[in-house]
């Protein structure tokens, strides 16, 4: 297993080559099976095909995680319930059902705007796992509003509803023509809470490489991959610090695609 490397290919096959119990943290943002336009991946599979495929990659994630390891899966409304069940059936222990409220949902005319994604947080063991609360504390109302002496001076554990803006098509941090780039701030919270420096963070669905970029910044080892060659190149350039190259190579944002998830 070569660390701090980006792989091109199918995540199930790549994970199958990894040893048992070798990874500290998995963050996965799989395609949601909602018909989103990726360059080569077909995001509209039958219910059974998507369910069975999810079972396969989640059971590989279980096998490669250390006993002290954690997994976070971002998923849309359509399959959140199913992924929750698959995680439990694979042997994981439930910790939190986090709602990422992203504030910048695309405007809808005939329904309420969609402005959240589910993040399911599970651990392999139900007692022994990494959770660095001091890395992720946030100011509490006890401190700020009530001046309550019982308040922890460094703040409280974040609630399970997280507010981070999504990376909209027009934002300057948007990289290449990928329909669903995650914000670095969200990955920072997860990686800081559930891993330590020099740990190994794996993302099976690299996309634009947000997880690997944040892991690198926070001095963790990364291991990531994507099935698309053009996204693989984007990740490689991002990790090499050549974001401007992504644009020069003709992978500029396509605004018709850039907000299509929402």
| Count of C-beta atoms within a 10 Å radius of residue 111 | 6
Are the C-beta atoms of 228 and 38 separated by less than 8 Å?
yes
Instruction: Report the candidate in 20, 22, 76, 23 with the shortest Cα–Cα distance to residue 211.
Output: 23
Q: Which two tokens stand for residue 2?
A: 């070569």
Residue 208 CB, shortest distance to ligand SAM, in Å, is: 3
Residue 95 CB, shortest distance to ligand SAM, in Å, is: 20
Are the C-beta atoms of 184 and 192 separated by less than 8 Å?
no
* Contacts with ligand SAM, 21-40, as mask; x by CB under 6 A: --------x-x------x--
DSSP secondary structure letters along 79-117? HHHHHHHHHHHHT-EEEEEEEEE-S-PPP-SSSPPP-EE
Tell me the site size for ligand SAM, rule CB under 6 A. 20
Are the C-beta atoms of 160 and 167 separated by less than 8 Å?
no
Residue 114 CB, shortest distance to ligand SAM, in Å, is: 15
Are the C-beta atoms of 262 and 105 separated by less than 8 Å?
yes
Q: List CB contacts of 206: < 8 A, sequence separation 6 or more.
A: 6, 212, 224, 225, 226, 231, 232, 235
The Cα–Cα gap between 90 and 250 comes to 41
Stretch that binds ligand SAM, among 102-110, 150-158, 199-207, 247-255 (CB under 6 A): 199-207
Residue 147 CB, shortest distance to ligand SAM, in Å, is: 39
Stretch that binds ligand SAM, among 16-24, 103-111, 190-198, 225-233 (CB under 6 A): 225-233
Q: Does 83 bind ligand SAM (CB under 6 A)?
A: no
The Cα–Cα gap between 199 and 218 comes to 10
Q: Does 258 bind ligand SAM (CB under 6 A)?
A: no
Q: Does 208 bind ligand SAM (CB under 6 A)?
A: yes
Name the residue whose CB lies closest to ligand SAM.
207
Q: Does 181 bind ligand SAM (CB under 6 A)?
A: yes
Residue 7 CB, shortest distance to ligand SAM, in Å, is: 9
Start-to-end CA distance of the chain, whole Å, equals: 37
Q: Which of 68, 228, 254, 257 binds ligand SAM (CB under 6 A)?
A: 228
Residue 15 CB, shortest distance to ligand SAM, in Å, is: 9
Of residues 143 and 235, the one with the C-beta less far from ligand SAM: 235
Applying CB under 6 A, the residues found at the interface with ligand SAM are 10-11, 29, 31, 38, 41, 178, 180-182, 204-205, 207-208, 210, 225-228, 231
């Amino acid at each position: 297993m070569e660390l701090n490397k980006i792989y091109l290919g199918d995540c199930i096959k790549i994970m199958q080559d990894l040893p048992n119990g070798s990874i500290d943290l998995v963050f996965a943002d799989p395609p949601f099976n909602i018909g989103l336009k990726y360059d080569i991946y077909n995001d509209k599979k039958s219910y059974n095909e998507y369910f069975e495929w999810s079972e396969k990659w989640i059971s590989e994630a279980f096998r490669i995680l250390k006993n002290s390891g954690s997994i976070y899966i971002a998923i849309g409304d359509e399959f959140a319930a199913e992924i929750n069940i698959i995680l439990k059936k694979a042997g994981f222990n439930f910790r939190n059902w986090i709602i990422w409220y992203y504030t910048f949902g695309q405007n809808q005319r005939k329904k309420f705007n969609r402005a959240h994604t589910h993040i399911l947080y599970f651990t392999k063991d139900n007692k022994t796992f990494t959770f660095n609360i001091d890395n992720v504390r946030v100011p509490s109302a006890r401190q700020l509003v009530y001046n309550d002496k019982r308040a922890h001076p460094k703040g409280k554990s974040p609630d399970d509803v997280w507010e981070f803006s999504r990376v909209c098509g027009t934002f300057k941090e948007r990289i290449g023509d990928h329909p669903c780039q995650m914000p670095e701030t969200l990955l920072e919270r997860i990686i800081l809470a559930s891993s330590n420096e020099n740990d190994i963070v794996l993302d099976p669905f690299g996309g634009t490489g947000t997880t690997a970029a944040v892991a690198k910044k926070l001095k963790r080892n990364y291991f990531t991959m994507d099935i698309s060659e053009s996204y693989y190149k984007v990740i490689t350039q991002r990790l090499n610090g050549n974001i401007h190259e992504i644009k020069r190579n003709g992978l500029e944002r396509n605004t018709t695609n850039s907000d299509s998830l929402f």
